A and B are shown apart, each in its own frame.
Chain A
Amino acid sequence: MTKDEKYSIAKWAMEHAIQNGAQQARVSIYNNNSSQIEVRDEKIDKLQESNRNGMQINLYVDNKYSSISTNRLNNKEELGKFIEEAIAGTRYLAEDEFRMLPDPELYYKGDGPELKTVDPGFKSVDPQQKIKDAFALEKEVLGSDERIISATASYRDGLSGSVMVASNGFEGDSENSYYSLNASVSVTDGEARPRGNWGESSIFSSELVRKDIGKKALKRAVDRLGQAKIESGKMPMIVENKQAGQPLRPLISALNGSSIQQRQSFLIDMLGEKIGSDLLTITDDPFIVSGRGSRLFDGEGIATKKRPVFENGVLKTYFIDTYYGKKLGMEPNSGGTTNMVFKPGEKDLEGLLADIPRGILVTGFNGGNSNAVTGDFSYGIEGFLVEKGQLIKPVAEMNITGNFKQLWKDLVAVGSDVDPSRSWILPSLVFDNVDFSGV
C-alpha cells in the first residue's frame, strides 16, 4: 500500500465514522514488511516473509469511547459496516467526560526536522545477500571450538509505514526500517549448555555491522561455562549497558499518567523531588537523527518535545497523555518516551570495574518482577564476580532484591559506554549495596 492509498482509506473511514454518529474519530493505517532468515548446520533452517496490514479506529460517540481494529482493509462495504456496528455498540457504554481527541493546538503541524528513520534503498537489497550475511556469521564460529553444540545465525529486516488522521485536524505519517544480524551459540563442557547471544542492528543496510557477531556470541557462551552461585551478601552491582534498561523500565513506568491516576505507582506526587543520586540525569530527545526512538509526533498526534526527565536525581516530568491529563487536571505532554538519553560518565566499563574491590557484573537478567505501587523488586541475574577490575568467575542462579527508591539513590557511577543501537541510550551503571541471594 502506498502512503496515498493509506491516507485515502484512513480519511474515508474517519468520514464514515463521523457521518454515522461519531462526534470525533482518529484512524491510523500501517503496513509492515519483514523477512527473516535463520541458518544452522550450514543450511537455511527457516525462511520467513511477512507482509502485515492493519487499521485502528478510535471512536468518540456521545462522550463514550471505543477502539476497533482490523486487517481486512480491502472492502469498503465491510469496513463501513464494521464501523457502524462499533458506533452502535459504543452507545451501550458509560459516559466518560474525559475521553476526547487532543487539543489541536498540541498537534504536530508538519514543520519538524528530517529524522532519517528509513533506508531509501530498503526494497533493493538483494535477497541472496541476506542469506550470505547470515551464513557469514555462522562461519565465524563453525569448527572454531570443540565445545560448540549448536550455532544459529539470523538475518532480519523490516520496513514499516503508517499514516494517522484525526477529525479535529491532524494528518501525519512516518516510515521506519531496520536490519539486524544475530548469532546464538550453545556450548558445553559436560552438563550445562550455556548459550551466548550477540546482535547488531541498524536503520540502514550500509551501516549494519556484519563482523564478529558470531565470535562475540561464542565468547559470551564460553565465558559462562562453569557458572555457579556464590554466597549471599550485599555488594556493588555493575549492570552492563545492554542490560541497563531492566532497572530503568519500572522507574519510567511509574511516571505514566495512567499509573499515577490509578495509584499504581511508587512515584505519586514526586514531581520536583529528588528520586535518585546526582548521577541520574536522563533526557527524552525525539529529534536525534536516525535515533531508534526518534519521532515528530506521538500516538495521539501530539508534537514531541525534547524534555528533561531526571536532572541530577530530581524528577522533572511525568508522561501525560490527553485522557489521563484530563483526569489528573494536568497538561498533556505526550504519554510515551522517545529516545531516552542517559547522561554518560567518564569511564568505560573496564574503568568502572577497576574501581570495584568486590562486586558482581550483571550481564543478563533471568525473570523476576517488581511491585509497581511499592517499588520493591526481585530479579534473577547472571554475570561475573569482579575483584579490582578482574573477572574472577561466572555467576548465575542468583537473585537481587530491593526497592527502586533506594536503588537509584545508590547509583554511584555511570559509564561512558552508551549503547546507541536502541531507543533508550544507556551506559553501564554501578549501584552500591545491592542484596544478592545465592548460596
Chain B
Amino acid sequence: MSINRRNFIKTGGAAVAGTMVLPPLLKSCQNLQISPDVKSYLDHFEVTPEMLQKVIAEAMSKGGDYADLFFEHTLSNSLGLEDGKVNSAFSNVDYGVGIRVLKGDQTGFAYTETTSLDDMLKVAKTAANIANDPVTFKQSELIEKTSPNYYTVSQKWENSTVEQKIPFVQKVNDRLYELDDKVTKARVFQRDESSYVMFYNSDGLLTCDYRPMATLGVVCVMEQDGQIENDYSARSIRQGFEFLSDDLVEELAQEAISKTNFLFGAGKPKAGELPVVLGAGGSGILLHEAMGHPFEADFNRKGESIFSDKMGKSIAKDFINIVEDGTMEFNRGALNIDDEGNDVKKIYLVKDGVLESYLHDRISAKHYGVEPTGNGRRQSFRHVPLPRMRITYMENGPHTTDDLISSVDYGVYVDNFTNGQVKIGAGDFTFFVKSGTLIENGKLTQPIKDINIIGNGPQALADITMAAGDYKTATGTWTCGKGGQSVPVGMGLPSVLVSKLTVGGTSA
C-alpha cells in the first residue's frame, strides 16, 4: 500500500493541534469507474475494490443471504472550561471495519480495528458462521452510490485549531457571569466530531459519507439565599467550525440563565392523573418514547411491541400526522445515507391518525416485504445496525396554543426535559420534566420542577385531544440509547394537549 503515512498520522493528531485533511492522493485503481471522492475513501482505509470483493466472498462463503462492510474513522475532540478557564482537552481516534452477514432474520457480526486484508478475512470468516451451507459466492458488479448532502460543511473540524475554538468556550462562561450575579459555577464544553464512513455490500453497492457533529453546551449553577439550582443548555448539529459564532454564545448564555433562574421558587404539582400541555419543540420526547420506539420494526417483528398488531388501524385523532425523517438539513439526527447503504427518507408513521409504517432496517424490511425506510443505524463499526429513529416529529394541528391552555382547569404545561424511557411491550413511557408551569383555571400560574411524567403509549396517543399550529424542531442535544448503542437523534412537536397522564408530585 502506498498511502502517505504522514498524512494519515496528521489526521489522528488533528485532535488537539489541528492541521489536517483527508489524504487526497489518488492512485490507479483497477479499471473501475470510481469517483475521486469514493477513491479517496478507499485510499484512506488502505483498501482496493478487489480487497472488498475478497472479504465479501469470504463473508458469504457459508451461504449467507447478504453481507456488508462498514468502515469508519472517527476523530473527536473536546474542550472543557471549569472555574473560569478553558483548562482541559480531550481527543479520540477510532478506526475499524464491522463485517456483518445475514441469513434470513439471523445475524453474524465481527469487527477488526485494522483494515489489512488478513485481519478482514479473519473476521469475515467469524461473521460467516451464522450460515452453514458452504457455497461459491458470485460477485455482484460494483456500483457506486452517491447521495444528497444534508450537512454541507464550510470549514472542516480537522482544519480548525484549538486556538480558534477556545475563545467561544471562554465567552460563554464570561457572558454568564456578566448576565447574572447569582452565577456561582459554570462548566462549558465544546465537542466536535468528524466521521468518515465507507460502506460496501454483497450487492456490490459502494458508498461513503462524511459526518460532522458540533456541540456547545453549558451547565450553570446559581445560588440565592442558600438555595442552589442548576440547569443546562446546549446545541448540537451536523456542522463544521462555522457552527461556533457569537450569536450562538449569546443564545446559550441567555437560555442557561433564564432556565436556571426559573427554578428558584418552583414547586411541585399535586400527584396523580392530570391534563398535560406539551410545549412546542423539546416535547417531541413524547413522540420519541411513546410512539417512536414501539414503532421500531425489530420489536414488532418479534411481536414484542404494544403496537405489534396495529398496522393500518386508527390509533390517534385524525389531525395527527407523525413523521420520521432523516433529511432535515444540519439536524443532529440527519444522515445522507443510513448505516446499511439505504436512502434516508421522510416517512409517515401516522397519517391522519392511522398507523402507516414502522421504522425498518434491512432485516425487518425483508421480513415484512417492504422497502427499507432508511432507519438502519449503528453506534459505530463495532455495532450491528438496528431500526432506529432519526428525526421524529408531529406536523402542525388545527388548534392554537391558547385553546390548549385555556381548556385546562388544573394541569401542567411542560417544555424543559432531561430524559425519557419506554417499556416497549407494556407501552409505559416516561419523561422527566426539569421545569414547567402549573395551569389553573385555564391560565399559566406557578413554576414547577423536577417531576416525572408517565403514561401508556397507545392510550396517550389516543388522548392527544388538541394540537396547535406552532411547530418547532427541538434544539437540544438528544441522544437515543437502545440495545447498548447510542445514536444522535432529533425531534419536534407543535404544542399538544394530552388529556391525562400520571404526573409525579405531592399527595394532597
Footprint of B on A, CB under 8 Å?
A: 40, 43-53, 64-72, 74-75, 77-78, 81-82, 84-86, 88-90, 92-96, 99, 149-150, 152, 186, 188, 191-195, 224, 227, 229, 232-234, 262-264, 327, 366-374, 376-380, 382, 396-401, 435-439
Contact = CB atoms under 8 A, between A and B. Distances in A.
Interface in B301-350: 302-306, 308
Given A371-B450, A373-B229, A435-B505, A194 B426 contact: yes
A45 B420 contact: no
B452 A67 contact: no
B45 interface: no
B418 to A, nearest CB: 5
A186 B304 contact: yes
B163 interface: yes
B110 A48 contact: yes
Looking at A191, A366, A438, which has the most chain B CB atoms within 10 Å of its CB? Answer: A366
23 contacts: A43-B105, A47-B106, A49-B123, A49-B126, A69-B92, A70-B94, A81-B9, A86-B16, A89-B16, A89-B17, A90-B16, A93-B79, A150-B302, A192-B306, A192-B427, A195-B424, A263-B184, A367-B289, A380-B452, A399-B453, A437-B271, A437-B504, A439-B273
B138 interface: no
Interface of B: 5-6, 8-10, 12-18, 79, 82-83, 85-96, 105-114, 123, 126-127, 129-130, 161-163, 166, 184-185, 187, 219, 221, 223, 228-230, 268, 271-273, 289, 302-306, 308, 382, 384, 418-432, 449-456, 458, 502-507
A78 B420 contact: no
A435 B91 contact: no
Contact of A376 (B161, B450, B455): B450
Looking at B9, B126, B163, which has the most chain A CB atoms within 10 Å of its CB? Answer: B9
Given A89-B162, A149-B303, A263-B221, A367 B452 contact: yes
B interface SS class: strand
Contacts of B112: 51
A88 B108 CA distance: 43
A45 B106 contact: yes
A367 B129 contact: no
Contacts of B107: 45-48
Given A68-B90, A192-B426, A50 B110 contact: yes
Contacts of A85: 10, 12-17
B232 to A, nearest CB: 11
Contact of A234 (B8, B92, B507): B507
A7 B303 CA distance: 50
Contact of B93 (A71, A99, A186, A382): A71
Contacts of A371: 449-450
A186 B302 CA distance: 9
A81 B430 CA distance: 48
Contact of A68 (B15, B110, B114, B427): B15
Nearest to A375: B450
Contacts of A74: 114
Contact of A193 (B17, B221, B306): B306
A367 B90 contact: no
Given A194-B426, A378-B451, A380-B430, A438 B502 contact: yes
A40 B301 CA distance: 12
A86 B91 contact: yes
Contacts of A438: 272-273, 502
Given A70-B12, A193-B304, A369-B418, A378 B504 contact: yes
Given A192-B427, A263-B185, A400 B504 contact: yes
Contacts of A400: 504
B3 to A, nearest CB: 12
Q: Which 8 A-B pairs have the closest CB atoms?
A: A89-B16, A85-B13, A367-B430, A437-B271, A367-B421, A399-B504, A193-B425, A94-B85
Given A68-B15, A435-B507, A374 B432 contact: no
Contact of B94 (A68, A71, A81, A437): A71
Contacts of A69: 90-93
Nearest to B271: A437
B221 to A, nearest CB: 5
Contacts of B451: 378, 399, 401
Contact of B13 (A44, A82, A192): A82
Given A193-B426, A262-B221, A263-B184, A94 B86 contact: yes
Contacts of B502: 229, 397-399, 437-439
